[in-house]
Chains A and B, each alone.
Chain A
Amino acid sequence: MGLLKHLLFWPVTGPNFLARFSLEKVQDTVRQELTDDSRIKEELLALQIQLEFGEIDDAQYLEREADLMRQLREVREWREEFGMGIAGGPVRVAGAERAEPTASEDAGAPARPDDADVQVHLGFDDPAD
Chain B
Amino acid sequence: MAKSVRTTGDDRESAGQGKYVYCIIKQSEPREFGDHGIGTASRVYTVHHEDLAAVVSDTPLKVYDPTRENVLAHEYVNEVVMREFTLIPMSFGTLFRTEGDIVELLRSTYDTFDDVLQKIEGKLEFGLKVLWDRERVIATLEDSDMELRRLRQEIAENPQGATYFTRVELGRRVEEALEAAGDRYVRDIHTALKPAAVASRANKPIGERMILNAAFLVDRGHETEFDEAVKGISRKYEGQLTFKYTGPWPPYNFVNIKLKLEKAGS
Does A56 interact with chain B (Cβ within 8 Å)? no
Partner of B256, one of A72, A86, A119, A124: A119
Is B261 in contact with A69, judged by CB distance below 8 angstroms? no
> What residues on A are CB-neighbors of B214 within 8 Å?
125
> What residues on A are CB-neighbors of B248 within 8 Å?
none
Q: How many A-B residue pairs have CB under 8 A?
A: 161
Distance from B8 Cβ to chain A, minimum over Cβ atoms (Å): 5
Residues of B within 8 A of A (CB): 1, 3-4, 6, 8-9, 14, 18, 61-68, 93-97, 101, 104-105, 108-109, 111-112, 115-116, 119-120, 129, 131, 182-184, 186-187, 189-190, 194, 197-202, 206-207, 209-210, 214, 217, 244, 253-264
Is A90 in contact with B95, judged by CB distance below 8 angstroms? yes
Output the nearest chain A residue to B120 by Cβ-Cβ distance.
A120
Complexed CA–CA distance, A126 and B183 (Å): 11
Q: A118-B115, A122-B217 are in contact. List 5 more A-B contacts (CB 8 A).
A: A69-B66, A72-B65, A112-B108, A118-B116, A121-B253
How many interface residues does A have (CB within 8 Å)? 48
Distance from A15 Cβ to chain B, minimum over Cβ atoms (Å): 28
Is A89 in contact with B264, judged by CB distance below 8 angstroms? yes
Offer 17 A-B interface pairs, CB within 8 angstroms, sorted by A: A48-B68, A69-B66, A70-B8, A70-B9, A81-B3, A91-B261, A94-B260, A94-B262, A115-B108, A115-B109, A115-B112, A116-B109, A116-B112, A118-B256, A120-B254, A120-B256, A128-B182
Is B14 in contact with A49, judged by CB distance below 8 angstroms? no
> What residues on B are CB-neighbors of A97 within 8 Å?
104
Complexed CA–CA distance, A96 and B186 (Å): 47
Partner of A120, one of B18, B116, B194, B210: B116
Distance from A91 Cβ to chain B, minimum over Cβ atoms (Å): 4
Complexed CA–CA distance, A65 and B257 (Å): 28
Complexed CA–CA distance, A92 and B197 (Å): 36
Complexed CA–CA distance, A116 and B116 (Å): 11
